[in-house]
């Protein structure tokens, strides 16, 4: 059992949890992920590691409540446990001194981007971070990102906070103005954002690393459900990734595959919300 | 009552296994074979001639004391039967269900020369189930040796090696990457062939008796490496299986609705997807399912598909649909057990022989909608001894399907080899291990089961676990050169 030691509500739908998982913390590196299971009936949920503390034996998870399983995760409190926290899985980010790099994070993607930006910063890179979200309430960790960035741009889609723009806009300006300077770009966020970041950087031929979060079960190469089409053929996100060259990813196939269980996901959410309402009614009656 | 004469024994017909009716069972996930009653078991046991040289035992990869357990059984001494069984096999309820007895013990039974062999597998299952319910004869551990043994993987090979080493008084820890123990017994073989209550019951019982710890959620190569295990343990056995699925190298494999049999079966068995939304993991098949391949895994995938279609039909009132096995060779070359093929046929799986997909077709939205296939003919035998399938020119045709499950075999998961370069491997990705000892090229590391042979059977993996344990014991006692 893996105990929750700390919980922060970053927005209505974004939660942070510090979880006891010493065997994962001991090995975790930026860019890797874990598989989390809520309980005996739970599914295996892949989540990128947002932070880790080897000494305390803890890892930090940040997740957005988008489906039944993440809603159930979010309903857990300090002291509650997860059935499984297994990892660290996938290849860690290749950290080198590249020179000037751009780290682009969208929404909940800011969480896995943070340890990468931090490691790049520690390795002596000049880190330019561009973070954004749909609206102000979905933004978090601006301060933490600022602490590991040499330059930072913050934007929201609706203009409710700082610059009103999609992250691709300041990125394009940056490439236009200082294109030769940027050695590499990391982009983590919704698939659609990563697609457009990759399209934005492609004409400038700046290597662009994306971290994919596809549907998967075991996370160890066993099911192949996570396979992504690259120029050179299909690869598994769990063992060949999760980071890939964004210019080689077949994004339309990736987006279609993510939608495969949409109907089932919707049914599961409805059922969960119905159960929660029933619980409330029963509590009220008691 | 006087003992039966040989003539009387020979006159008893082989007792049939009671099974669920095909039309009923194709709509549920309950076990197909219902098991012998005590009466049937004793009657079947009476058929055994107690040969002075029991060839059946030679056919068993773990050397079960077959005449001894059958003798005790027919004398009504069920506990004695369990005791005889457990000398060589700590997991009889599992083996009795999934061993290919027809090519092993039963193939050697002298009765099979003129009639039908003794139903050794069914008797083994009967004895195993009796013990699972009654726990009359626990495995016993000799006094502690103070030695520590690590086992990588809790499937058949690892469990067997763990049980053997546990009995000998070593402290054994099993590392399992998934959240449940059992390996392929848990994620691969469906409930209707091997109920998970049997798997869990038999594993828990053995582990409790021998004080063996199973650490789930530990991925060797990631959470811990082989090198770290070797620093903490005196000996390590790798039984990590062959978990990596293969996909055909044809266009269209990434359309929605195309999946590996591993993914499909893991969703159904390990994650209980057939009970969605009671369980969180969904699994879905369409109305026209094609399973590519004809091994045991393909039969399992096809039969699970039928059941999922039936469950959906019962809810929606719509037609259930069709499930096809698409195989490039003919009926004769089918690698699955005859019984599995028979069960699949009875349940209504359609077999398309001498047919090979060349492209998977999809809709604009990325959903599979068909397969372009080509007819095959059989040519000269290839390296496997089977006649090589050759495409018939101009015979291409389209098949309407909405789900494609690829059951084309699996290979070992390379994660375990991270930070263990000394573990020599073949070009197929399997570990090189000495057949007589199961020693690998890495000191103090043994390996067995599918990780060495590539995908094979549960019981051959158990046999390898046993061979490795015997050599490990020699090494722990006497040391010596590697």
Residues B119-163 have pLDDT tens digits of 999 999 999 999 999 999 999 999 999 999 999 999 999 999 999
Instruction: Give the C-alpha distances (Å, rounded to integers) separating A117 from A104, A131, A147, B5, B20.
Output: 10, 12, 10, 83, 60
- Cβ burial of A41 (10 Å; 0-12, 13-18, 19+) is middle
For tokens 């400038």, what's the residue?
Answer: A204
Angle, helices B196-210 vs B156-167, to 10°: value is 30
Closest partner residue to A222 (CB to CB) among B217, B253, B262 is: B262
Q: Tell me how far apart the alpha carbons of residues B290 and B361 are, in angstroms, rounded to a whole number.
A: 13
First vs last Cα of chain A: how many Å apart? 31
Interface touch B280/A268, C-beta < 8 Å: yes
Interface touch A224/B259, C-beta < 8 Å: yes
Interface touch B413/A42, C-beta < 8 Å: no
For tokens 């999809």, what's the residue?
Answer: B362
Strand bridging mode A33-37 / B387-391: unpaired
The pLDDT value given to residue A11: 87
Decide if pLDDT at A124 tops 60: yes
Interface touch B223/A27, C-beta < 8 Å: yes
Closest partner residue to A84 (CB to CB) among B217, B276, B281 is: B217
Q: Read off the pLDDT band of B339 (50, 70, 90).
A: confident
Q: Tell me how far apart the alpha carbons of residues B186 and B189 are, in angstroms, rounded to a whole number.
A: 6
Interface touch A220/B217, C-beta < 8 Å: no
Q: List CB contacts (< 8 A) between B258 and chain A.
A: none
- Which of A83, A222, A266 is the best mutation test for B, with the most CBs of B within 10 A? A222
The pLDDT value given to residue A280: 80
Please tell me whether residue A16 adopts helix, strand or coil conformation.
Answer: strand
Interface touch B257/A222, C-beta < 8 Å: no
Q: Read off the pLDDT band of B241 (50, 70, 90).
A: very high
Interface touch A41/B413, C-beta < 8 Å: no
Measured between CA atoms, the residue of chain A closest to residue B410 is A222
The pLDDT value given to residue B2: 63
Name, in order, each residue with C-beta under 8 angstroms of A128's C-beta and a sequence gap of 6 or more: A100, A101, A102, A103, A149, A150, A151, A152, A153, A174, A182
Closest partner residue to B267 (CB to CB) among A38, A68, A217 is: A217
**Across the strands, what pairs with B244?**
B411
The pLDDT value given to residue A151: 96
Q: Tell me how far apart the alpha carbons of residues B255 and B322 are, in angstroms, rounded to a whole number.
A: 20
Closest partner residue to B223 (CB to CB) among A24, A44, A259 is: A24
- Rounded-to-5 percentages of helix, strand, coil across chain A: 35, 30, 35
Q: Which long-range contacts (CB under 8 A, 24 or more apart) does B388-396 make?
A: B389/B328, B389/B329, B389/B354, B389/B356, B391/B356, B396/B358, B396/B372
Measured between CA atoms, the residue of chain B closest to residue A90 is B222
Q: How far is A63 from chain B (nearest CA, A)?
A: 18
Interface touch A264/B278, C-beta < 8 Å: no
pLDDT average, residue stretch B230-258: 95
Interface touch A41/B218, C-beta < 8 Å: no
Measured between CA atoms, the residue of chain B closest to residue A263 is B282
Q: Read off the pLDDT band of B382 (50, 70, 90).
A: confident
Decide if pLDDT at A285 tops 90: no
pTM for the full predicted model:
0.94
The pLDDT value given to residue B364: 92
H-helix or E-strand spanning residue B373: strand B368-381
The pLDDT value given to residue B100: 86
Closest partner residue to A256 (CB to CB) among B247, B266, B366 is: B366
H-helix or E-strand spanning residue B372: strand B368-381
The pLDDT value given to residue A283: 75
Closest partner residue to B266 (CB to CB) among A23, A217, A234 is: A217
Q: List CB contacts (< 8 A) between B263 and chain A.
A: 217, 223-225
Contact by Cβ (8 Å): B333, B381: no
Mean pLDDT rounded to a whole number for chain B = 95
Measured between CA atoms, the residue of chain B closest to residue A270 is B277
Q: Read off the pLDDT band of B1 (50, 70, 90).
A: low
Q: List CB contacts (< 8 A) between A69 and chain B.
A: 280
Q: Tell me how far apart the alpha carbons of residues B208 and B196 are, in angstroms, rounded to a whole number.
A: 18
H-helix or E-strand spanning residue A85: strand A84-89
At B270-318, the pLDDT tens digits run 999 999 999 999 999 999 999 999 999 999 999 999 999 999 999 999 9
Q: Tell me how far apart the alpha carbons of residues B403 and B291 are, in angstroms, rounded to a whole number.
A: 8
Q: How far is A91 from chain B (nearest CA, A)?
A: 10
- Which of A1, A70, A218 is the best mutation test for B, with the most CBs of B within 10 A? A218
pLDDT average, residue stretch B238-255: 94
Q: Tell me how far apart the alpha carbons of residues B252 and B15 are, in angstroms, rounded to a whole number.
A: 48
- Positive/negative CA dihedral, B133, B136, B137, B140: positive
Measured between CA atoms, the residue of chain A closest to residue B418 is A91
The pLDDT value given to residue A12: 84
- Which of B178, B242, B261, B280 is the best mutation test for A, with the most CBs of A within 10 A? B280
At A258-284, the pLDDT tens digits run 999 999 999 999 999 998 888 888 776
């Amino acid at each position: 059992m893996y105990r929750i030691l700390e919980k922060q509500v970053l927005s209505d739908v974004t939660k942070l949890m510090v979880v006891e998982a010493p065997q994962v913390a001991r090995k975790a590196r930026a860019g890797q992920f874990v598989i989390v299971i809520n309980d005996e009936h739970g599914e295996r949920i892949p989540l990128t590691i947002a932070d880790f503390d080897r000494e305390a034996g803890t890892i930090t998870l940040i997740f957005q409540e988008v489906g039944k399983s993440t809603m159930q995760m979010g309903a857990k409190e300090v002291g509650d446990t997860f059935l499984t926290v297994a990892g660290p899985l996938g290849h860690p980010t290749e950290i080198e001194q590249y020179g000037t790099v751009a780290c682009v994070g969208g929404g909940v993607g800011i969480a896995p981007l943070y340890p990468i930006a931090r490691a790049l910063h520690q390795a002596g890179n000049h880190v330019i971070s561009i973070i954004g979200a749909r609206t102000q309430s979905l933004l978090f960790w601006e301060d933490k990102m600022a602490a590991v960035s040499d330059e930072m741009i913050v934007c929201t889609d609706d203009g409710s906070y700082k610059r009103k723009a999609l992250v691709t806009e300041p990125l394009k300006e940056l490439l236009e103005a200082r294109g030769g300077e940027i050695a590499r770009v990391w982009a983590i966020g919704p698939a659609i954002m990563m697609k457009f970041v990759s399209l934005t950087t492609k004409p400038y031929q700046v290597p662009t690393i994306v971290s994919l979060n596809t549907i998967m079960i075991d996370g160890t190469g066993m099911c192949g459900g996570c396979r992504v089409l690259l120029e050179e053929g299909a690869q598994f996100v769990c063992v060949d990734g999760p980071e890939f060259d964004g210019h080689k990813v077949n994004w339309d196939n990736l987006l279609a595959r993510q939608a495969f269980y949409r109907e089932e996901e919707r049914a599961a959410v409805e059922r969960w919300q119905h159960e929660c309402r029933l619980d409330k009614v029963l509590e009220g009656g008691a | 009552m006087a003992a039966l004469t040989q003539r009387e024994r020979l006159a008893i017909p082989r007792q049939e296994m009671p099974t669920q009716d095909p039309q009923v069972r194709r709509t549920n996930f309950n076990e197909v074979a219902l098991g012998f009653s005590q009466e049937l078991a004793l009657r079947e046991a009476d058929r055994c001639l107690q040969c002075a040289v029991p060839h059946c035992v030679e056919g068993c990869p773990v050397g079960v004391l077959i005449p001894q357990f059958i003798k005790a059984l027919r004398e009504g001494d069920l506990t004695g039967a369990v005791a005889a069984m457990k000398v060589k096999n700590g997991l009889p309820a599992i083996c009795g269900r999934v061993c290919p007895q027809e090519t092993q013990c039963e193939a050697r039974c002298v009765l099979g020369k003129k009639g039908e062999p003794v139903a050794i597998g069914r008797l083994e299952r009967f004895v195993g189930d009796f013990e699972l319910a009654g726990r009359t004869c626990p495995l016993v551990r000799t006094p502690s040796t103070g030695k520590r043994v690590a086992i990588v993987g809790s499937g058949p090979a690892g469990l067997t090696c763990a049980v053997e080493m546990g009995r000998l008084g070593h402290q054994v820890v099993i590392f399992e990457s998934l959240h449940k123990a059992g390996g392929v017994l848990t994620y691969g073989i469906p409930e209707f062939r091997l109920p998970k209550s049997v798997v869990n019951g038999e594993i828990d019982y053995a582990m409790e008796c021998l004080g063996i710890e199973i650490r789930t959620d530990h991925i060797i190569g990631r959470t811990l490496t082989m090198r770290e295990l070797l620093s903490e343990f005196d000996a390590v056995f790798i039984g990590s299986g062959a978990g990596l699925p293969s996909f055909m190298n044809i266009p269209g494999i990434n359309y929605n609705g195309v999946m590996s049999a591993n993914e499909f079966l893991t969703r159904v068995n390990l994650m209980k997807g057939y009970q969605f939304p009671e369980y969180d993991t969904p699994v879905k098949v369409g109305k026209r399912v094609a399973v590519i391949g004809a091994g045991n895994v393909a039969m399992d995938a096809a039969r699970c598909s039928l059941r999922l279609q039936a469950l959906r039909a019962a809810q929606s009132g719509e037609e259930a649909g069709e499930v096809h096995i698409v195989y490039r060779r003919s009926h004769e070359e089918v690698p699955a057990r005859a019984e599995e093929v028979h069960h699949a046929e009875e349940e209504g799986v359609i077999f398309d022989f001498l047919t090979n997909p060349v492209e998977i077709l999809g809709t604009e939205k990325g959903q599979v909608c068909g397969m372009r296939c080509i007819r095959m003919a059989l040519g000269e035998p290839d390296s496997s001894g089977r006649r090589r399938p050759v495409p018939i020119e101009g015979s291409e045709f389209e098949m309407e399907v909405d789900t494609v499950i690829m059951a084309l075999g699996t290979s070992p998961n390379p994660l375990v080899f991270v930070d263990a370069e000394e573990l020599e491997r073949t070009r197929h990705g399997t570990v090189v291990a000495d057949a007589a000892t199961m020693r690998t090229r890495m000191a103090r590391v043994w390996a067995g089961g599918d990780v060495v042979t590539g995908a094979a059977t549960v019981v051959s993996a158990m046999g390898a676990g046993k061979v490795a344990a015997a050599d490990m014991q020699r090494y722990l006692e006497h040391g010596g050169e590697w």
